[in-house]
């Protein structure tokens, strides 16, 4: 049987990885500045992470969600402290798309309304519910004209208010920083306006922190740069360092009613062991601060070139926008310089490195880019 061939893959087979480094089956070493779609937060094969997972496997296997889970409770407590959201509650699921669908459902339950506002160039996932919230020409979807979703322009508070005034909007969903859409940042003023407009018109502000969350931007969540508190925060990707895990943080205004949400695998023992290890390591190694420092260092040292239009982003969520298509330079970075990078659209190299990236490793990338330019 063949694999259903729906996304592009580089012809590299990794067999070993450590920190920000990866080795292929021919012994070639690579620097990983992408972390397999932003899932590597504390670095590959961190010894504490590997130990937590293997210890957990030895204790209790995969029995899941019909009994109390002390590990889920431990995670809720630790995450509340680490994020500054101790008064919120946690619902655990398996992926970013599922988190966004759960958030949209909850917003609708909570408000009794059924329209969602999302933003142009957004990406919220690939399931039919999440892709309906997505506006991205590279994402093929039969649901882009879903009639209950309205797309507004990022940073246009007036446009959002015009829609909210109609009175049927359950929630406004926005990425902390747009990732797949090309590292587009909502301004702090815009996020603050969304927070107060949602309060004024009885809608829920949903912050999708699936890609921008857990330290990547130099704050625990990207929206914390704007000093706001959303109704729901959605999470996924790096929260268990590559082990499938998602979740949502829910403001105390929401009343939990049995049957609203459910899951088979959400919060399973291995995901919890992985997620707890991630929070421990992030704290012990000051990875949020490191992401900020090394990200600023990269931004300040990307070589000036007529080929580069702009460098933008925050912490280790960075986009280098070129005046030309980046496929050739990404290929040269991977096969000549042995550096993994990501992409957004055709003209942007997107960096989503593990949060433990060092300045020395950043220099390897900066020098490689200089040579290729």
Binding site for ligand PLP (CB under 6 A): 37, 95-97, 100, 123-125, 175, 179-180, 208, 210-211, 236
> What minimum distance in Å lies between the beta carbon of 371 and ligand PLP?
30
CA distance to 73, 186, 262, 267, 303, per residue, from 78 (Å): 9, 28, 22, 14, 40
Closest distance of CB 353 from ligand PLP, Å: 16
Look at residues 308, 235, 251, 241 and name the one whose alpha carbon lies nearest to residue 271. Answer: 241
* CB 140, min distance to ligand PLP, A: 15
Which CB atom, from 18 or from 138, has the smaller least distance to ligand PLP? 138
* 263/301 with CB nearer ligand PLP: 263
How far is residue 348's CA from residue 324's CA, in Å, rounded to a whole number? 9
Query: Rounded distance, CA 225 to CA 229, Å?
Result: 11
CB of 303 to ligand PLP, least distance (A): 28
Alpha helices in the chain (DSSP H): 35-38, 47-59, 70-83, 96-111, 128-131, 157-164, 188-201, 269-284, 287-301, 327-335, 359-372
Which single residue is written with the structure tokens 């330019």?
Answer: 373
Q: Smallest distance from the beta carbon of 176 to ligand PLP, in angstroms?
A: 8
Rounded Cα–Cα distance for residues 170 and 116 (Å): 6
Query: In terms of CB distance, is 100 or 268 closer to ligand PLP?
Result: 100
Question: Is the backbone of residue 67 left (phi > 0), alpha (psi -120 to 50) or beta?
Answer: beta
CA 183, CA 121: separation in Å to the nearest integer?
Answer: 10
Based on the number of CB atoms within 10 Å of its own CB, is 347 exposed (0-12), middle (13-18) or buried (19 or more)?
A: middle
Nearer residue to ligand PLP within complex by CB, 19 or 244: 244
Q: Which is nearer to ligand PLP, 88 or 123 (CB)?
A: 123
In terms of CB distance, is 38 or 368 closer to ligand PLP? 38
Task: For ligand PLP, give the closer residue by CB, 175 or 321.
Answer: 175
Half-sphere exposure of 114 (CA within 13 A, CB side): 4
User: How many other CB atoms sit within 10 Å of the CB of residue 372?
Assistant: 16
What would the two tokens of residue 102 be? 């759960």
Looking at the Cβ atoms of 97 and 288, the one nearer to ligand PLP is 97
- In the complex, what is the shortest distance from the CB of residue 3 to ligand PLP, in angstroms, rounded to a whole number? 17
Of 205 and 368, the one with the shorter C-beta distance to ligand PLP is 205
Write down the least CB distance from residue 97 to ligand PLP, Å: 3
Tokens of 78: 């630790």
Least distance (Å) between residue 147 CB and ligand PLP: 22
CB of 267 to ligand PLP, least distance (A): 16
183 touches 350 (CB < 8 A): yes
At a CB cut-off of 8 Å and minimum separation 6, what does 4 contact?
A: none
């Amino acid at each position: 049987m063949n694999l259903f061939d729906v996304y592009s893959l580089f012809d590299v087979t990794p067999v070993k990885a450590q920190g920000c480094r990866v080795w292929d089956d021919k012994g070639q070493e690579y620097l990983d500045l992408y972390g397999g779609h932003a899932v590597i937060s504390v670095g590959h094969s961190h010894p504490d992470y590997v130990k937590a997972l293997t210890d957990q496997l030895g204790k209790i296997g995969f029995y899941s969600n019909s009994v109390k889970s002390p590990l889920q409770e431990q995670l809720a407590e630790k995450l509340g402290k680490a994020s500054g959201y101790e008064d919120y509650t946690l619902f655990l699921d398996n992926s970013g798309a599922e988190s966004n669908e759960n958030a949209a459902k909850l917003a609708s339950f909570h408000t009794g309304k059924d329209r969602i506002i999302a933003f142009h160039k957004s990406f919220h996932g690939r399931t039919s519910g999440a892709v309906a919230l997505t506006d991205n020409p590279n994402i093929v979807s039969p649901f882009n004209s879903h009639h209950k979703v309205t797309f507004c322009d990022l940073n246009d508070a007036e446009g959002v208010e015009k829609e909210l005034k109609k009175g049927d909007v359950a929630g406004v969903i926005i990425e902390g920083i747009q990732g797949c859409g090309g590292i587009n940042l909502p301004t702090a003023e815009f996020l603050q306006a969304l927070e107060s407009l949602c309060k004024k018109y009885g809608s829920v502000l949903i912050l999708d922190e699936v890609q921008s969350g857990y330290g990547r931007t130099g704050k625990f969540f990207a929206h914390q740069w704007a000093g706001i508190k959303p109704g729901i925060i959605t999470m996924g990707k790096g929260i268990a360092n590559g082990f499938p895990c998602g979740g949502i943080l829910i403001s105390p205004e929401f009343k939990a009613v049995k049957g609203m949400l459910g899951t088979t695998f959400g919060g399973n023992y291995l995901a919890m062991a992985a997620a707890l290890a991630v929070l421990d390591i992030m704290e012990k190694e000051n990875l949020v601060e490191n992401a900020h420092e090394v990200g600023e260092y990269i931004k300040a040292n990307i070589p000036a070139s007529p080929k580069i239009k702009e460098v933008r982003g925050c912490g280790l969520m960075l986009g280098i926008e070129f005046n030309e298509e980046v496929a050739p330079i990404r290929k040269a970075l991977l096969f000549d310089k042995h550096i993994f990078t990501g992409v957004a659209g055709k003209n942007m190299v997107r960096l989503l490195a593990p949060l433990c990236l060092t300045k020395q490793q950043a220099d390897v990338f900066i020098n490689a880019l200089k040579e290729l330019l």
